[in-house]
Amino acid sequence: MVSTAFAPLAQVVCEGIGHPCLPIVVVPHPVGDPDEALVRKRGEDIAKECVRVLTTPAETLAREFEGKRFPLPDTVMPR
């Protein structure tokens, strides 16, 4: 589970450790915010996706995540 600013890094790490299809749950960056309700909402959103990837058969996830790309948001690296 990573924020959008670190998703490409997470993918390279997954490839590096020999698990290129490892499911990555991506959340908007930054995760932190002074508004506690907003942070709580983000947590709830993530939890649903975490449950999904933890309860979906690995073969299905491998097909879903194979070749999937998470480009850096323009706010992190304007192009």
Partner 1 sequence: MKPDLPHVVGPGDALDRVNDYFYERGWTDGLPIVPPTEERVRAMLGGMPWRKADEVISTVPPKMGAASMHQIAVNTVMAGCRPEYLPVVVAALRAVSEPEYGLAHRQTTTHPGAPLIIVNGPAVAQLRINCGRGLFGPGWRANATIGRALRLILVNIGGAGPAVDASQTGHPGKYTYCIAEYEAANPWEPLHVERGFAQEHSVVTVVNCEAPHSMTENIQTDPDEIVRTFASSMATLGVNNLYSQGHPVLVLGIEHARHFASAGWSKRDVQRALFERARQPWGLVKNRGKSKGPRFPEFVDQSDDSSMVPIVREARDLIVIVGGGAGGKSMFLPTAGGQSLSVSKPIEAG
Cross-strand partners of 27: 3
32 φ, ψ to 5°?
-75, 150
> Which residue's CB is nearer to partner 1, number 17 or number 55?
17
| Residue 1 makes contact with partner 1 by CB under 8 A | no
Q: Interface mask (CB under 8 A) for partner 1, residues 3-22, using x and -? A: --xx-xx--xx-xxx-----
My answer on whether omega of the bond before 30 falls inside 30° of 0, hence cis, is: yes
21-40 residues in contact with partner 1 (CB under 8 A) are none
CA distance 19 to 10: 11
Give the interface with partner 1 as residue ranges (CB under 8 A). Answer: 5-6, 8-9, 12-13, 15-17, 71-72, 77
